[in-house]
Amino acid sequence: MYQLKNWIFKSQTETGVILEVEGRHHLHIDVLEERMIRVQLLKDGVYRLDRSWCVAPKGDAPIEGRKRTSLEGFACPAFESQLEDDSITLSTHHLCVTINKPLGLVWHGREGVDEQWQQIAQDRPTGAYMLGRKDHAHSHFLRRDASDRFFGLGEKAGELERSGRRYEMRNLDAMGYDAGATDPLYKHIPFTITRLANGLAYGLFYDNLSPCWFDLGNELDNYHQPYRSYRAQDGDLDYYFTLGPSIADVTKAHTRLTGGTAFLPRWSLGYSGSTMSYTDADNAQEQLQGFVKLLEKHDIPCDSFQLSSGYTSIGPKRYVFNWNTAKVPDAKGMSKCFADAGIELIANIKPCLLQDHPRYSEADALGLYVQDSDTGVAERSVFWDDEGSHLDFTNPATQSWWRANVKTALLDYGINSTWNDNNEYEIWDRQARCNGFGDPIEIDLIRPVQPLLMTRASTEAQKDFAPEKRPYLISRSGCPGIQRYAQTWSGDNRTNWKSLKYNIPMGLGMSLSGLYNVGHDVGGFAGPRPEPELFVRWVQNGIFHPRFTIHSWNDDATVNEAWMFPQVTNHIRNAIKLRYSLLPYLYTLLYKSVVDDEPMIRPTFLDHDHDAQCFEPTDDFFLGRDLLVANVVEEGATSRRVYLPDNGVGYYDFWTGSYYKGGQHTTIPVTIESIPLFVRAGTVLPLSPEAKRSASVKGQTRQLVIYPMPGAGSCEYTAHVYDDKGDNVDAMDGEHRLTTLTVTQTASTLDLRWAHKGRFNPALAGCEISTCNDDSRLLSVLNRPYDSGTLLPF
């Protein structure tokens, strides 16, 4: 590799400039938004890969990939340019970039009343860009200040703040990983957020899916001042620089850039059961249907069950789209059993056919596999204790074959949803050939695109089969954009207290990186079964994540079930029922994640970045803006110390109604049944205390709990509640109801009013209004006095 230093101005475009670098390469700089500028380096003036599947500002990318030259979906605002002999400056009102000689960029931003330019980033002056002479390896180096805080990179182990560490992006099936240290993991998310000492924040998204590394202060070099680096072994240097001004703004902008969030069905927020034990058993159908009976026996609400891959087995191995009829003699009858109980089935499917798969030759004859770089025949990779060939989802024929088989092997059996699993594409022949929709591409350039396109094909199959419903999918691997189609999770975690603790920042890291609909395998996937205390604490934590699934493959042949420890089943039941009571709030958060790009789970600093304490390591997080979750994650704990972020209004204890000021620590006693939870003052929290299923609210009683502002002064505050049929595809076209709740508060009164928008009537049994404590003020609803316990039409 060699350093790029020399450049000359080549031309100005409608959106920026093109420079000629070292007499042969082109550097394109384009102003895309007021706070977003894109930088592209084209080796010898051409792209290594001229398409992207991640960038989708209009909501989705073409299946064959979006042309990198496309500016569709961007505002491309007017900008000022200043060309001098040794520099070029491009600026909008908020963001400014200067290209200096030798080649290096300096970034300035301005926000706030004084609107003074502040430097926010600078390329390393002693060499910012490097490029391979005989290959497409490349590097980008920036100055690093000791006060910089780094976030993002998606699903990463350890603390949420990434300073001082080095990370690799290379999709791996990291079963049983150490949640505090293992790297790399399942997903490829080349996106960082940097927060500066002055409070501003910026995002860097490298739109390149080749294996790459991020060094955020681990590396030192005597010849350079402190720096950070991005290094890739192939692909294009193509990055998007986004000014916040806050971390939340950067996250939301990145989510919009990569296509937004899928609006999954309401039932996806309920408890989802799963275990490999049932489908691995010789009497799989009996055990699966027994799960439904045990739910009723133990009074456990449940909305779905994730069907592990044992249903496809021949011997100990897995064969996608094959039904083991000895284990499951009546798949349609089994599906009906679950459907009659109101439980959705989600089937595990894998993108690799083992070499002895009954249909291996069929797919081979159709040319559906990724091809070996030397021979041109189907590649062979290690997969599930054997070797197999990976399906190539950049081949239109594979897309068609996959959609047809999802229909005939699953949907026709009454299984409506897919779990797209083991899709890391561990093909280490870097030059293995993908069809590329008619324009071949090496696998090393697009490995994380394969799970994205696999999940997209599954999505289209489900939409074609039931066009009136919003589909549900989950995918373990992927890249930016996977959230357009699916929910995801942190993969096959290990059963221990460390995983419980460090899965929290791992989920928050994904959320900051645009993957909002996330969760973890509650109870732990790999290792021995959890002891009772750990299992209770894991469930109490899991209920506050968008994906709430108890899942396991315990190596001692046990199975994680809600009732596995009779002595604590009551605590498990109470936690799951709390989850169901929060469903109106959770579903509103899902709606806001779709329409407003708001993260569902949020680090404490996201809405309190003025509070320095919130940037210290913590196990606390927010669910939405209103609920501060302070789960117990330490073994044998008898107390829990909680920091209440300085929000200016304070908090109420969810359970007692006690009021606390913000900006302070408090310590509360805890027992095994404790679930510490605080509610922001000035909130109206919607609850469904009687819910047994999440799919429909018809006939349920809604409860609205008011958490007053402190003090005796007059004020007004609002909240929202979203409802629809649960999975109707036309929900965003007006077939929903969005309710605005407004509380007018005085020293002596609380008046609650609401206004509905949308055509949907949820047909609730009624609504009960209360305050969180024994508030002495006169409570009125819709300007009428309200008697406690009365049910009102809502």
Q: What is the DSSP string of 342-398?
A: T-EEEEEE-SEEETT-TTHHHHHHTT-BPBPTTT-SB--EEETTEEEEEB-TTSHHH
Q: Report, as an integer, the average pLDDT of 350-368.
A: 98
CB 75: neighbour CB atoms within 10 A? 13
pLDDT at 480 > cutoff 80: yes
> Cβ atoms within 10 A of the Cβ of 73, count?
17
Of 3.20.20.80, 3.40.50.10190, 3.30.499.10, 1.10.274.30, the CATH number of 305-488 is 3.20.20.80
Asked which of 83-97, 200-214, 681-695 is least confident by mean pLDDT, the reply is: 681-695
Q: What mean pLDDT do residues 545-550 have?
A: 98
pLDDT score, position 58: 84
Whether the Cβ atoms of residue 679 and residue 624 lie closer than 8 Å to each other: no
- Give the pTM: 0.98
623 has pLDDT over 80: yes
pLDDT over 70 for what percent of the chain? 100
Q: What is the pLDDT at residue 243? A: 98
In CATH, the number for domain 601-680 is 2.60.40.1180
Question: Model confidence over 438-473: pLDDT tens digits?
Answer: 999 999 999 999 999 999 999 999 999 999 999 999
Query: pLDDT (tens digit, 9 = 90+) per residue, 703-721?
Result: 999 999 999 899 999 999 9
What is the CATH topology of the domain spanning 683-785?
Answer: Immunoglobulin-like (2.60.40)
User: pLDDT per residue over 39-95, tens digit each?
Assistant: 999 999 999 999 999 999 989 999 999 999 999 999 999 999 999 999 999 999 999
Mean pLDDT of 7-34: 98
- For 377-433, the pLDDT digits (tens) are 999 999 998 999 999 999 999 999 999 999 999 999 999 999 999 999 999 999 999
Query: Cis peptide before 351, with omega less than 30 degrees from 0?
Result: no
Q: What does the alpha-carbon distance between residue 751 and residue 747 come to, in Å, rounded to a whole number?
A: 12
Strands 16-21 and 25-33: antiparallel
pLDDT tens digits, 552-568: 999 888 899 999 999 99
Q: Is 225 exposed, middle or buried (0-12, 13-18, 19+ CB in 10 A)?
A: exposed
Domain positions in the chain are: 2-145+210-257, 305-488, 601-680, 683-785
Whether the per-residue pLDDT at 202 is higher than 80: the answer is yes
Q: Which range, of 205-219, 552-566, 647-661, averages the lowest pLDDT?
A: 552-566
Question: Given this model, what pLDDT does residue 114 score?
Answer: 74
Predicted confidence band of residue 690 (pLDDT cuts 50, 70, 90): confident
What burial class does residue 339 get, using C-beta atoms within 10 Å of its C-beta: 0-12 exposed, 13-18 middle, 19+ buried?
A: middle
Q: Evaluate if residue 37 carries a pLDDT over 70.
A: yes
- Which DSSP letter does residue 544 get? T
For the residues 103-127, what does the mean pLDDT come to? Answer: 93
pLDDT band at 113 (very low <50, low <70, confident <90, very high): low
Homologous superfamily assigned to 2-145+210-257: glycosyl hydrolase (family 31) (2.60.40.1760)
Question: Which segments within 144-249 are labelled E, that is strand?
Answer: 149-152, 166-169, 191-195, 201-206, 212-215, 227-232, 237-243
N-term to C-term CA, the chain: 67
Write down the pLDDT at residue 518. Answer: 98
Decide whether 601-680 matches 683-785 in CATH topology. yes
**531 neighbors 635 (Cβ within 8 angstroms):** no
DSSP E strand stretches across 645-747: 651-653, 659-660, 664-669, 677-680, 683-687, 701-707, 715-724, 736-745
The answer on pLDDT for 525 being more than 90 is yes
**Max Cα separation, the chain?**
82
**What is the structure's pLDDT at 251?**
98
- pLDDT (0 to 100) of residue 789: 86
Give the pLDDT score at 75. Answer: 98
